Structure 1
Amino acid sequence: MTKNAKKEQFHEYVHKSVHDLQEYEKNPNIHDEKNISELAASIKEWGFTNPILIDESDMIIAGHGRWEAAKFIGMEVVPCIILAGLSDSQKAAYVIADNSLPFGSKWDEDLLLQEIEQLEADGFNIDLLALDNIEDLDFAEFQPSSFTDGHAKDGDETVNKADTKLTIGEYSIPIPREMYIRWQDDIRNSAGFSKENVTEEIKRRLQLW
């Protein structure tokens, strides 16, 4: 830092019980069950990387979805940043701005598709990227690898770009993306997060007995 550089004013970083936080009742941004599940999966994969923004009274200004996701996976304490000294108008405005500002950025589609293809090749769980939430991208050029049934060994079944790879043991089966989305919450409600229970439920649905 140069001697003429202005020292920045940083907000206070704290840890708070999820039970002490309060939602902003007029938050116009809605987080449905699917989005909360995606956020929960993200937290489980990468940790709580984005603190919740609150005021001095523990009211959430930004991070309602992360708060719901934290409760969903049983977290008791979450990282927060206190935005002190904001007026009611500033708080209301930031609630909107926090959700609208990210839409001002654009994707380099070629680079994005290259990264997705590499992640798939590395065996990374692409569902964690929540790609179906990106409405303004053309994934026509994104062609996932062909998947085959582990027993049939025929190699002829190609997965459409909208399909999802479902792997169970030596099986690697394509299922329509729409079916995957429908099953996701239903299976989670009936089988929870137990890998064994989820696998048994999927086997039952696909009649792989």
Structure 2
Amino acid sequence: MTVTVLPAPRAARVSADAAATAWALAARSGDPHAAEQFVLALHNDVLRYVAHLSGDPQAAHDLTQDTFARAFGSLHRFEGRASARTWLLSIARRAVADSLRRAAVRPRIADTPDWRAAVERTQPRGLPGFEEGVALLDLLDALPDERREAFVLTQVVGLSYEETAGFTGCPVGTVRSRVSRARATLERQLLESEAPARRAA
């Protein structure tokens, strides 16, 4: 099995970023249609980002809603100096960090002795691309946090290396190195996972 995740072409992404930023600025003035378009333009990017960053696809929708709630609460301060996408992803990052902090201090209680099996039984099965998506999440989850974030931002969300550097606060060369190492690790893991099937064939 080979999983490929490619970002949108740069020209299309730049155009989409400009449109999303324009919607955000218009929504700041109280335009409900602009607010709706702002959410529609960036919802999937936020959803993918929080799912990968948190490592918890089940909580991704709640984290996405939290991100937009925070964004609308501070939209009056958004001036368009950065793209709306970069601004929104920085809010998403804080939402995930806050969620992880809350989870770390919350007691975990299960009303069944085999809670892992119970969780697995609730997972969807038979959906198109489901197994590949689970495999990709498992592979990404094995990466160190910094490499996973750089890979997701550039290869899944589609930010440029420069945008990712500004977003994460590290040099562009560091971002390139993290993405390169993440890609090498993922390729090695994929080859290792496919090795038994190739030997059997």
Please confirm whether the aligned pair reaches a TM-score higher than 0.5, indicating the same fold. no
Q: Which has the larger radius of gyration?
A: 1
More helix per residue: 2
TM-score (norm 2): 0.27
Specify which structure has the bigger relative contact order, considering alpha-carbon pairs within 8 angstroms and separated by 6 or more residues.
Answer: 2
More strand per residue: 1
TM-score (norm 1): 0.26
